Amino acid sequence: MKDIVNFLFETGMLQKTPRSGFQFLGSGCESVAEHVLRTIFIGYSLCKLEPEADESRVLKLCLVHDLPEARTGDMNYVNKKYVEVNEEKAVSELTETLFFGDDIQDAIREFNEKKTRESILAHDADQLALILQLKEYDDLGNKYSKEWIGFAIKRLCTDTAKKLAETITKTDSSEWWFKDKGDWWVNANNKR
């Protein structure tokens, strides 16, 4: 049980690990854990759009894809030009005391190899999470977001993800909660 508890403490580091690329965007912040959560929901949605995919496998890949960052930190595209991260060592050491460590290693390996339908969908979910975040910053006026979105869209693999990205870019990020602009926004406290 002690090894599992230590693993669970380690996963908590993802809440404290910032996604480092936003410093180059000039606005925004997100932890790796926040990114992973959104990626899981996107993976779930992609599986509903592509029911032939193994949903539980996609969700597992989305769940663990950035787990090594609890040890390595988040390395953005600029950092990766200069720093080499030994993710394999991080994964090995992270999982060596867990009786289910091989399962985590296999899932991370599958995600990284990007050969299965499920790993491709998980990669698309990862990029769509970034695209959603960038669209939110674009809607708030960040002038660099659109260009970043364009690069992220080029990394998408499936037609389903590309269609979803197209819809994301055409949808105001506040529409889901602010679409019914009317009397409620004036009189909400008066209605019981």
Per-residue pLDDT at 192 exceeds 70: no
Are the C-beta atoms of residues 36 and 62 closer than 8 Å to each other?
A: yes
* Residue 19 to residue 73: CA distance in whole angstroms: 8
Average pLDDT score over residue span 32-37: 97
For residue 18, what are the β-bridge partners?
A: 31
| Span 126-179, pLDDT tens digits | 999 999 999 999 999 999 999 999 999 999 999 999 999 999 999 999 999 887
| Span 64-115, pLDDT tens digits | 999 999 999 999 889 989 999 999 999 999 999 999 999 999 999 999 999 9
**SS3 assignment for 160-180:** HHHHHHHHHHHCCCCHHHHCC
Query: Domain segments of the chain: what residues?
Result: 2-176
Res 166: pLDDT: 98
Res 174: pLDDT: 93
Per-residue pLDDT at 190 exceeds 80: no
Give 186's pLDDT tier (boundaries 50, 70, 90). Answer: confident
Q: Which amino acid is at 175?
A: E
Homologous superfamily of domain range 2-176: Hypothetical protein af1432 (1.10.3210.10)
